[in-house]
């Protein structure tokens, strides 16, 4: 299954942009390295978790994933990644 990379529109606060102007080259390199590990690496350990969700919600989620020919657990991981990098409003 080919993994599609989603490119979302990002919004940055003026404070964040000012902070990034003060970053050193090594801090920028570390940020880019960490970013690549999160978005482009399927390697690394996976952690088995157990969560309680409403049964009907999970059934609907699985059904929609199946209609789109996607694995529901993969979609959950994508949702987690997306949530991490969405600018809080």
pTM strictly above 0.85: no
Q: How far apart are CA 64 and CA 59, in angstroms?
A: 9
Task: Check residue 83 and give its pLDDT.
Answer: 84
Q: How far apart are CA 36 and CA 30, in angstroms?
A: 10
Contact 10, 85 (CB under 8 A): yes
Task: Check residue 65 and give its pLDDT.
Answer: 94
Q: What is the DSSP letter of 5?
A: P
What DSSP letter does each residue of 25-40 carry, written as one string?
A: HHHHHHHHHHHHHHHH
| 89 residues of the chain, pLDDT tens digit each | 455 555 556 677 888 888 888 989 888 888 888 777 777 766 667 889 999 999 999 999 999 999 999 999 989 988 988 887 765 55
Q: What is the DSSP letter of 65?
A: H
């Amino acid at each position: 299954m080919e993994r599609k990379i989603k490119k979302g529109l990002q919004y940055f606060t003026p404070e964040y942009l000012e902070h990034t102007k003060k970053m050193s080259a090594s801090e920028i390199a570390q940020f880019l390295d960490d970013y690549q590990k999160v978005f482009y690496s399927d390697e690394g350990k996976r952690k088995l978790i157990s969560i309680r969700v409403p049964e009907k919600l999970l059934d609907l989620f699985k059904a929609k994933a199946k209609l789109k020919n996607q694995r529901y657990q993969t979609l959950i991981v994508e949702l987690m990644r997306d949530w991490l990098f969405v600018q809080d409003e």
